[in-house]
Amino acid sequence: MDLPARVIVFAPGMEIKNKPATLVSVSPQGYYELHMEFSGRRHTVLAPISETGLVFNDPEEEFASVGEIER
């Protein structure tokens, strides 16, 4: 995962749903540092990892199929 990364944020406890943002860092103290736009101005948001869902805008690279894996 390369940072900064464009993401969509879901943090119901902060009343943030489907909001675009830029993920700047992931803190060992348990929060995401995000840059988000509110009222036309950029703000830094510290969102708790345990209560926040992120969807990365850029899809994962496709890999060639390796074949079936025996389980």
List pLDDT tens digits, range 17-59.
999 999 999 999 999 999 999 999 999 999 999 999 999 987 7
Q: Is residue 52 part of a domain?
A: yes
- CATH code assigned at 31: 2.30.30
Domain membership flag for residue 29: yes
Domain count for the chain, please give it: 1
pTM: 0.78
- Does 70 map to a domain? no
pLDDT top residue among 61 and 25: 25
Domain membership flag for residue 64: no
Structural domain boundaries, residue 50: 5-56
State the pLDDT at residue 64: 63
Q: DSSP states of 32-60 as a string?
A: EEEEEEETTEEEEEEEEGGG-EEEESSPP
Q: Give the burial class of 57: count Cβ atoms within 10 A of its Cβ; 0-12 exposed, 13-18 middle, 19 or more buried.
A: exposed
If phi > 0 it is left, if psi is from -120 to 50 it is alpha, else beta; for residue 18 that is left
Q: Is residue 9 within 8 Å of residue 54, measured between CB atoms?
A: yes
